[in-house]
Amino acid sequence: MPTLLHVDSSPRSASISSQLAGEFVQQWQRRNPAGAVIHHNTSREAIPYVSEAAVEAFFTPAGTLSEEQKRVLALSDRLVDELLDADVIVLGVPMWNLGIPASLKAWIDMIVREGRTFAFTQQGVRGLLPPGKRGYVFSARGGAYPEGTAAGVLDLQEPYLRAILGAIGLTDVRFVHADNQSCGPQAAADGVAHAEAAMAALLA
Ligand SMILES: Cc1cc2nc3c(=O)[nH]c(=O)nc-3n(C[C@H](O)[C@H](O)[C@H](O)COP(=O)(O)O)c2cc1C
């Protein structure tokens, strides 16, 4: 049974990134009626920041974990399992202060785990996600960040997500941006129309 993991991160009920990611997931469900979808919205779930106890547990070999450490790792383990089980990973991501919301970073800090989603090797970090998974990121941004422009240098959202997802082995990731959401109604609508067209091309 194909499985899709859908992670939104905007708290807004009128969120454009959540709307786009949701449309994509609906299309996927139409094509995969027997498929399973797991949904999170990190802005509405209390994913904790990594504590000292969690850091220690993260780097303790599985066989020697205390009962307390297993408890500390329970949420992280569940989120990692969801990621490992998923064939398709869909993120809805608002650009906040040039990057991603802190709540999405909290989820990332739970799923980037040595020995589970990446390994340190003599050649550096090696991703442990099985090959064949595909990622889709639907972002909404107040402005626009075209590559090769002065504004493009300020985009710390796509490069960061590409880098961290790549580090755990998710290298096949498509980005769709709805730009100019803070630039007036026409520019915002054009940004969404552009993103919808890009999504349709991905689904074609
Ligand atoms: C806290 C906050 C920070 C933001 N920072 C940026 C930013 O750095 N660059 C930008 O282009 N837009 C920024 N925006 C605008 C959002 O990216 C835009 O409103 C987008 O539509 C939010 O996504 P959403 O509709 O999915 O909530 C920010 C908005 C908020 C609320």
Provide the domain limits for residue 50.
Answer: 6-203
For the stretch 72-119, pLDDT in tens is 999 999 999 999 999 999 999 999 999 999 999 999 999 999 999 999
> How far, in Å, is the centroid of ligand 1 from the Cα of 179?
10
Secondary structure (3-state) at 181: coil
pLDDT at 52: 97
Mean pLDDT across 139-165: 97
Q: 20 CA distance to ligand 1 centroid (A)?
A: 15
154 occurs within a structural domain: yes
pLDDT attached to residue 85: 98
Q: What is the CATH number of the domain that holds 103?
A: 3.40.50.360
Indicate the top mutation candidate among 20, 42, 96 to test ligand 1's pocket, ranked by most ligand atoms within 8 A of CB: 96
How many residues make up the chain in this entry?
204
Q: Give residue 26's pLDDT band: very low, low, confident or very high (50, 70, 90).
A: very high
Residue 137 lies in a domain: yes
Mean pLDDT for the stretch of residues 121-137: 97
Residue having the nearest C-alpha atom to atom 1 of ligand 1: 96
Residues with CB under 6 A from ligand 1: 10, 12, 15-18, 94-98, 140-143, 181-182
Measuring CA to CA, which residue among 39, 54, 36, 45 is closest to residue 112? 54
User: Which pLDDT band, with edges at 50, 70 and 90, does 138 fall under?
Assistant: very high
Mean pLDDT score across all residues of the chain: 97
Confidence of residue 28 (pLDDT cuts 50, 70, 90): very high
Q: What is the largest CA-CA distance in the chain?
A: 58
With respect to residue 192, please indicate whether it lies within any of the assigned structural domains. yes
User: Residues 119, 128: contact at Cβ < 8 Å?
Assistant: yes
Q: What spacing in Å lies between the alpha carbon of 15 and ligand 1's midpoint?
A: 10
> By the 8 A CB rule, do 64 and 100 touch?
no
Nearest to 86 by CA among 5, 25, 173: 5
- Reported as a pLDDT band with limits 50, 70 and 90, residue 53 is very high
Sign for the CA dihedral angle at 123, 128, 134, 139 comes to negative
Q: Would you say residue 145 lies in a domain?
A: yes
Asked if the structure places residue 1 within a domain, the reply is no
Share of the chain above pLDDT 90, in %: 99
Q: CA 193, CA 108: separation in Å to the nearest integer?
A: 29
Write the Ramachandran bin of 42: left for phi over 0, alpha for psi from -120 to 50, otherwise beta: alpha
Determine if the pTM surpasses 0.85.
yes
Output the residue whose Cα is nearest ligand 1's atom 29.
Answer: 96
Quick one: tokens of 72?
A: 């500390």
Count: domains in the chain: 1
Give 115's DSSP letter. T
Does residue 103 sit within a domain? yes
The whole-number average pLDDT for the span 178-188 is 98
Structure tokens at 117: 């989603």
CA-nearest residue, atom 21 of ligand 1:
140
pLDDT at residue number 171: 97
Ligand 1 atom closest to residue 11's alpha carbon, by position in its atom list:
27
115 in Cβ contact with 31 (< 8 Å)? no
Dihedral angle computed from the Cα positions of residues 155, 124, 134 and 55, in that order, rounded to the nearest 10 degrees: -80
